[in-house]
Amino acid sequence: MRDDTFAGQVIRALARRTPAYGADTAAPDNSFGRSVLLALRRRTRAFVEQPPDDADAILDRLEADLASADATAGHARPERSGPGVLYQSERVTVTPRVLFVDGDRYAIAALRYLHSRTARRPPTPGVAAGTAAGWILLGAMIGLAAVLPVAMTASLALAGLIALTTAVVIRRRTPSHELWAQHHGAETLLFTTPDRREQQAVARAVLRAMRMIDDTSLV
């Protein structure tokens, strides 16, 4: 007999998300369902007392709460730490249904046209200060060239050129690798990192999740 209680809905949703969960528990009795719900409630304080109509919605919320709780506690979970996790790092979690980035949540089903970009990040305060110092030294060299000894003027010019050159090199070597997609129809920056390999790993996981959603919709 099909268990249509909310507990049963949650367990069936868990079974759909995790094939390894086991067919025998896909339609559990009320006692088993309540045990799982109590375990989930103990795991996260954010579990609501009044459950929503959609069992998948509460699982989405639980996934976000669990990721946030682990990040807050400083427990970096290993990559692919669970059967429902496609990618895991300190900043990013990708599941077959949700992408979590720095506390933001994106439903995989709402993503379209995933693509990558490389951009130049704004200069950091240190780089900006170095650029300003270089221009100041060069300006001082020009203004005081007539009254200062040649050696001192040359030193000022050299210091200014070094500061400017260093700032330019740093700015050119700090690209930002970005992951974009249409989220509910709007062009959205999902993730940015200076590490190209990290961006590619996240992109592969998100693409895999998107394909899983497409495959499920065809069944």
36-58 pLDDT, tens digit per residue, is 555 565 554 444 455 555 556 66
Mean predicted confidence (pLDDT) in 151-179? 60
Q: Where are the domains of the chain?
A: 1-74, 122-172
pLDDT tens-digit readout, 122-132? 555 655 565 55
Q: Look at 6 and 24; give whichever has higher pLDDT.
A: 6
Start-to-end Cα distance in the chain: 24
Quick one: pLDDT band at residue 167, thresholds 50, 70, 90? Answer: low
Q: pTM for the whole thing?
A: 0.45
pLDDT tens-digit readout, 21-38? 444 444 444 455 555 555
Q: If DSSP states are collapsed to H, E and C, what string results for the chain?
A: CCCCCHHHHHHHHHHHHCHHHCHHHCCCCHHHHHHHHHHHHHHCCCCCCCCCCCHHHHHHHHHHHHHHHHHHCCCCCCCCCCCCCCEECCCEEECCCEEEECCEEEEHHHEEEEEEEEEECCCCHHHHHHHHHHHHHHHHHHHHCCCCCHHHHHHHHHHHHHHHHHHHHHHHCCEEEEEEEEECCEEEEEEEECCHHHHHHHHHHHHHHHHHHHHHHHC
Q: Of the ranges 19-23, 54-58, 160-164, 178-182, which one carries the lowest mean pLDDT score?
A: 19-23
Mean predicted confidence (pLDDT) in 51-67? 58
The yes-or-no verdict on residue 62 having pLDDT over 80 is no
Q: Look at 96 and 7; give whichever has higher pLDDT.
A: 96
